[in-house]
Structure 1
Amino acid sequence: MRTTIGYTLESIGYVVGAQGLVSFASQTFFGTEWGWLHKIVDLASTAYLGIVALGLALVVTGVKTRKAPDRRRAA
């Protein structure tokens, strides 16, 4: 179960981080809206960097959860 949760958090983190990065880059460098995140929330371009940080935090948490040792011991 721990492995499944780790992979799930990691996968969600990659998607959230990528969408934050795409939204930041599109607003900052091109003045347009790319991705699907702008359809959910309307944020300033620098706030999308927080979304990127959230995605990275989810990836790190997923990797740590996935690699955590199993605490159950066979008797």
Structure 2
Amino acid sequence: MRTTIGYTVESIGYVVGAQGLVSFASQAFFGTEWGWMHKVVDLPSTAYLGIAAVGLALIVGGVKTRKTPQRQKAA
């Protein structure tokens, strides 16, 4: 079960982090809107770096959840 949860959290982290980076880069360097984050929230470009950090935290949390050894139940 931990493995499934770890992969799920990690996958969500990749999507959120990528969208945060794409939204930041598009606003900061090109002055346009890329991705789908701008359709959900309207934030300044630096706030999208925070969203990318949340994505990174989800990735790290998912990997740690996936790699923790499971305790065996005593019979």
TM-score band by shorter chain is over 0.9
Where does structure 2 lack aligned partners over 5 or more consecutive residues?
Answer: none
Query: What RMSD in Å do the two structures reach over aligned CA positions?
Result: 0.9
How far, CA to CA, are the matches of 2:39 and 2:7 in structure 1?
Answer: 26
Q: What runs of 5+ residues in structure 1 fail to find an aligned partner?
A: none
Structure 1 runs, 4 residues or longer, greater than 2 Å off: 72-75
Identical aligned pairs, as a percentage? Answer: 83
Superposition map of 1:1-75 within 5 A: 1-73=1-73, 75=75
Q: Deviations over 1:8-40 (max 9, x none)?
A: 000000000000000000000000000000000
- Normalized per residue, the structure richer in helix is 2
Scaled by the length of structure 1, the TM-score of the pair is 0.96
Query: TM-score, normalized by length of structure 2?
Result: 0.96
Aligned length: 75
Pairwise CA distance, 1:74: 5.3
